[in-house]
Amino acid sequence: MKLEILQKIISSLESGALVVTASHRQNRFVRNLWDQHQLSAESTQHREDKIVRSWSDCNSLSFDEWLNQLFEYSSLGGLFSQQKHVPEILDKQQQQWLFRKIIRDQQAEFSDWSKVQQETLLNNIQQAWIAYSEWLLDIQDKTTSSCFFDTEETRLFRNVIIAFEAACKKNNWISQANLLNYLTSKLPSLMPFIGNKISFYGFVEFTPQQQRFINKLELQYKKDPDSSIQIIEFTLQSFNSNSDKLKTSTPESKRVEEKIYPCASVETEWVAAAKWSRQLLEKNNNNSINIAIIIPDLTNKQQMVFRIFQREFQPETQLSALRHIPKGFNFSAGENFHDIPLIQIMKHWLGIFSSGNIEHWGAVLSDSFCVGYSNEKWARAQLKHLVLSQKNEYLSIEKFLELVLSCNIIPLNQWLEITHQLAKVARTKPKTLLPSKWANWFMDFLKSIPWPLEKTQDSITFQIFKQWQQLIRSLSKMDAICGNITLTSFSSLLDEQLSQQRFQPETPKSSVHVLGSLEAIGISFDFIRITGCQADSFPGVAKPNPFLPLTLQRKLDMPNATSQRELRFVKMLLNGYRNLCGSLTYSYAVADGETLLLPSPLLMQADTCSFVEDSLPEAWMEVQQQVASNLIQWQDDCGLPLKNQQVRSGISILKDQAACPFRAYVRHRLHVTSQDKEDIGVSSIQRGNWVHNSLEMVWRRLGNHKTLREKTTEQLIKLVQQCVDEIILNRSGKLHQQPSPIIQYEIIRTNWLVLSWLEIDKSRSEFIAVELEKETEAEIGGLTFKVRADRVDTLVDENKIIIDYKTGKCKPASWNDDRIDEPQLPLYALIEERISAIAFAQLNREACKLTGYGDEAITDKGIENLENWAEQLELWKKNLELLAMEFISGLASVTPKKGACDYCDLLHVCRFNARIEKERDDGSENTDENIIQIASDHTSCEGALR
């Protein structure tokens, strides 16, 4: 069957027919086939006749190319000479822009939708529009027009289409989806540009729109006995034609070798497919065979699948962070152009002018493409830190220039020049321009800084630039549609255009092709492997388009409308694959999480096999050798001992030392800091400070338990309100930047927390709040720290209780640990006299409560009475001294306590996760527990430290 089909294509081409294929990929396949045929024909003829002959051109086009060519020929041939204006075809971007504008105008309520929701709406409406055109629906048709009032979605679609068609009519535009309708109406005048023999190849089915065109073409051909139309395979439905010229062949599938592989999960299916294809290739001497791996919905799984194949075919790429052109396999789904780092950085440069968001400043300061980066990268990193620590959401270019001029960071000469250039361009920035003019303006700016002259352009970077420049040029097409726009609108327009493009680097010819479901149709392969053949997805469930009337979709048997249609479609695809390949392999995941899955019943005839990886890729061996020869393992858990016992940081040293010695060393000895993350709205630190400060103010006014109890509820509410307002509204320096509703909410929240806490204080035994936010010095194990107690209450018996306000989590149980998580209060208890309890005051949404430890005389609820308080103090002293001595000795082992890494910002420095993964790979059991055990073992090195 395979040879028969290929022979039909060759015969068509030899007879002078134009072969029209359903896709560009199929057209490439036909052209390759023709080249091979010419080569073999040439060599045969050369042997027999000793004559060298020239090759004839391959007369094949994809369907889209053919239509556009017909449109161009017709305009050259004077078809439009009678018309005032030549119609213009809207390309994809122009059509999208027009739809977006109409949807916005139509439905003001959609303006509140998130960007993702709006994009989904736009995509669905565009898909509905294509189906509407291809299935020849008509909202004006009396018999069907009422269906478009069925639901809110169909009504919206109707309104959008009316506006879209009106705009097209007014401006003499033709959308790509309507081009075929237009050409059908002009077919008689087009006949001089259409040859008399046409073969269609690779169509799974003809849409009614295509069918109508071909029917009309056939009527024209009737006038010429030498003309013919041939359909080569793959038609799902027959024509409604009586002509014997239109013979469709819906071939029965042939029997090929079929196997099915169960895999543990979807991801292991892809891994197995990559390994299977690599092994197959090696067994067949690499390039002599053609393999297709079919992955349904490949576009959405692109990144993960690409990584898996690259790991298998190019293991050497795992050792470098650079982008690599795929080698050994060909990947049909490109990545989203918008997400490519180089494109992202250009967007950030534009963002400085259009919004000045702090995020853009941070990104351009880290731009390694920018001139002078290699010399100034550390200085720019410091400047970035400074910019982000301003805590402003936006920064104008003038303010930024002031900041650069006032900071003492050196060297920043080239960056200073860039900033001056930015300011100059910003001063002369026009208010509005046509999109193409904005594009030129922006490119001129990039050249002026200059950017990116420092970087060597490898092949991938070169291709990215090429595509970017094409996109910039194509923006001129938007001029007529958008008119003059602001830079902010231009930035959004560019964003939209970028998100529509995919980047597919040119790759060397390869034998393994990773494709989506439809892309393999009509192309001959030696082996095809179809993944995702679970019963619930092969065939898939029906997904009718919500913007088209369901009754119409079912009646017309439109794509995705019914499960019966999906079944027929998948069967047809399978037949297509069987007819053009030597061996067909399927795989399916046996489970998705906890759900068990079954293979598709369509594949009962396939033999079930299990995949065995019989060899590692040769390239892997080389990589392993390279890694082994480059890496020297060095276990070094100790830094330099501390010379003088002076430390800059406070009690956080002991806290970090307890959590992870490496963290303490890096933060407090090497003074490595991370950049603050910009919180949207009010940060959690700010919230905590407001609660602390409000409570301090309230207690300065109340003074003692007795006064608190004497206040009426109204008086207390008033007092708290005054204090909270004073703290949040008058003392915060940057409130004007916060939207008022957020602040109002924070005021309510703080009021509630403080009042709730005062209720707890009321219920306690009598006390005087003697010390509020008092800072004092504490010495332990040879280190001196500053410690601060939020509140110290003196009780009736003159003993004291120390209270620490906590708006987050608080776990007094951690004070029982050898490595104390929160050493502040135990340390304070050691230096102050007559401390009989330490406690956290928990103030958060979950609960407001007192929780801690004390001696047996304490009666406050929430304080656990310890039998031997003096012994407990001794134990804390010993444990804290040990931590201090560890720090002094320079101990810096990467031995975190359980949970210490959860919010630690040093993970990229210690690479602890890589160690865990390696130990897991090496087969260590309970890796986490082992590490934690090591951490607790430090306490047993007490003797050695002493």
Residues forming the site for ligand SF4 (CB under 6 A): 659-660, 662-663, 894, 896, 900-901, 904, 906-907, 910, 912
Minimum Å gap between C-beta 566 and ligand SF4 is 49
Q: How far apart are CA 459 and CA 155, in angstroms?
A: 49
User: Which letter does DSSP use for residue 146 in this model?
Assistant: G
Residue type for position 496: E
Q: How far apart are CA 735 and CA 649, in angstroms?
A: 29
Closer of 18 and 907 to ligand SF4 (Cβ): 907
H-state helical runs in 453-562:
459-474, 479-482, 487-499, 550-555
Closer of 884 and 901 to ligand SF4 (Cβ): 901
Minimum Å gap between C-beta 880 and ligand SF4 is 19
**Residues sharing a CB contact under 8 Å with residue 181, sequence separation 6 or more, in sequence order:** 133, 209
Q: How far apart are CA 689 and CA 773, in angstroms?
A: 12
Minimum Å gap between C-beta 668 and ligand SF4 is 12
Closer of 660 and 720 to ligand SF4 (Cβ): 660
Instruction: Report CA-CA distances (Å) from 624 to 282, 322, 617, 919.
Output: 20, 19, 11, 17
Closer of 849 and 897 to ligand SF4 (Cβ): 897
Q: Which residue has the tokens 């055990």?
A: 933
Minimum Å gap between C-beta 816 and ligand SF4 is 21
Tokens of 549: 């009337």
Minimum Å gap between C-beta 823 and ligand SF4 is 16
Q: Other C-beta atoms within 10 Å of 323: how many?
A: 16
Instruction: Report CA-CA distances (Å) from 76 to 81, 85, 178, 530, 610.
Output: 9, 14, 20, 46, 60
Closer of 232 and 660 to ligand SF4 (Cβ): 660
Using CB atoms within 10 Å of the CB of residue 541, give its burial: 0 to 12 exposed, 13 to 18 middle, 19+ buried: exposed
Closer of 659 and 827 to ligand SF4 (Cβ): 659
Q: How far apart are CA 814 and CA 173, in angstroms?
A: 72
Minimum Å gap between C-beta 544 and ligand SF4 is 49
Closer of 147 and 666 to ligand SF4 (Cβ): 666
**Residues sharing a CB contact under 8 Å with residue 765, sequence separation 6 or more, in sequence order:** 705, 795, 796, 859, 860
Minimum Å gap between C-beta 519 and ligand SF4 is 44
Cα within 13 Å of Cα(69), Cβ side: 14
User: Which letter does DSSP use for residue 562 in this model?
Assistant: -
Minimum Å gap between C-beta 946 and ligand SF4 is 25
- Distance from the Cα of residue 128 to its chain's centroid: 26
Minimum Å gap between C-beta 932 and ligand SF4 is 11
Closer of 651 and 697 to ligand SF4 (Cβ): 651
- Distance from the Cα of residue 877 to its chain's centroid: 49
Closer of 203 and 887 to ligand SF4 (Cβ): 887
The answer to whether the Cα torsion of 518, 519, 520, 523 is positive or negative is positive
Minimum Å gap between C-beta 808 and ligand SF4 is 18
Q: Which residues pair with 838 in a beta bridge?
A: 802, 853
Using CB atoms within 10 Å of the CB of residue 663, give its burial: 0 to 12 exposed, 13 to 18 middle, 19+ buried: buried
Instruction: Report CA-CA distances (Å) from 259 to 521, 527, 603, 905.
Output: 19, 11, 9, 49
Minimum Å gap between C-beta 665 and ligand SF4 is 9
Closer of 252 and 928 to ligand SF4 (Cβ): 928
Q: How far apart are CA 709 and CA 766, in angstroms?
A: 10
Closer of 372 and 896 to ligand SF4 (Cβ): 896
Instruction: Report CA-CA distances (Å) from 179 to 69, 100, 130.
Output: 11, 21, 11
Q: How far apart are CA 291 and CA 522, in angstroms?
A: 14
Closer of 442 and 887 to ligand SF4 (Cβ): 887
Three-state secondary structure string covering 289-316: CCEEEECCCHHHHHHHHHHHHHHHHCHH
Q: How far apart are CA 224 and CA 461, in angstroms?
A: 53
Minimum Å gap between C-beta 281 and ligand SF4 is 41
Minimum Å gap between C-beta 903 and ligand SF4 is 9
Minimum Å gap between C-beta 58 and ligand SF4 is 60
Strand pairing of 88-90 and 173-175? parallel
Contact 5, 579 (CB under 8 A): yes
Minimum Å gap between C-beta 667 and ligand SF4 is 9
Closer of 520 and 904 to ligand SF4 (Cβ): 904
The answer to whether the Cα torsion of 888, 893, 899, 903 is positive or negative is positive
Q: How far apart are CA 88 and CA 174, in angstroms?
A: 6
Closer of 660 and 882 to ligand SF4 (Cβ): 660
Closer of 124 and 652 to ligand SF4 (Cβ): 652
Q: How far apart are CA 771 and CA 757, in angstroms?
A: 18
Minimum Å gap between C-beta 670 and ligand SF4 is 12
Containing H/E element for 592?
strand 591-592
Q: How far apart are CA 124 and CA 112, in angstroms?
A: 18
- Distance from the Cα of residue 9 to its chain's centroid: 43
Closer of 578 and 663 to ligand SF4 (Cβ): 663
Tokens of 651: 């009690």
Closer of 662 and 699 to ligand SF4 (Cβ): 662
Closer of 800 and 938 to ligand SF4 (Cβ): 938
Minimum Å gap between C-beta 910 and ligand SF4 is 3
Minimum Å gap between C-beta 382 and ligand SF4 is 22
Contact 594, 614 (CB under 8 A): no
What phi and psi, each to the nearest 5 degrees, are found at residue 669?
Answer: -105, -45
Task: Return the closest-CA partner of residue 827 out of 869, 785, 772.
Answer: 785
